[in-house]
Amino acid sequence: MSELEVRQRLESSSTAIRRIMMDLAGGSGKNSHLGGGLSSVEILNCLYGDFLSVHPSRVTDSTRDRFIMSKGHGVLSLYATLSYYGFISRNEISSYMQDESHLISHPVMNLSLGIESSNGSLGQGLGFGIGLALSAKRSGQSYKTVVLLGDGECNEGSVWESVRIASHLRVGNLLAIVDDNGFQSDGDTEQVSGNPSLAQAWSNFGWKATEVDGHNVGQIIDALSHFNIESEQPLVIIAKTVKGKGISFMERNNEWHHNRLTPDFYDRAMKELGTE
Q: Where are the domains of the chain?
A: 3-273
pTM (predicted TM-score): 0.97
In the predicted model, what is the mean pLDDT of the chain? 96
Q: How far is the CA of 268 from the CAs of 148, 208, 242, in angstroms?
A: 29, 41, 19
Region 87-115: mean pLDDT is: 97
CA 156 to chain centre: 18
Checking if the pLDDT of 196 tops 80, the result is no
**What is the pLDDT, as a whole number, of residue 186?**
85
Distance CA 163, CA 173 (A): 14
pLDDT 10s digits, 112-149: 999 999 988 899 999 999 999 999 999 999 999 999 99
The class level of CATH for 3-273 reads alpha beta
257, 35 contact by CB (below 8 A) = yes
Helix 75-84 / helix 3-28 crossing angle, nearest 10 deg: 120
The SS3 call for residue 85 is coil
**What is the pLDDT, as a whole number, of residue 121?**
87
In 3D, which of 131, 160, 139, 146 has the Cα closest to residue 220? 146
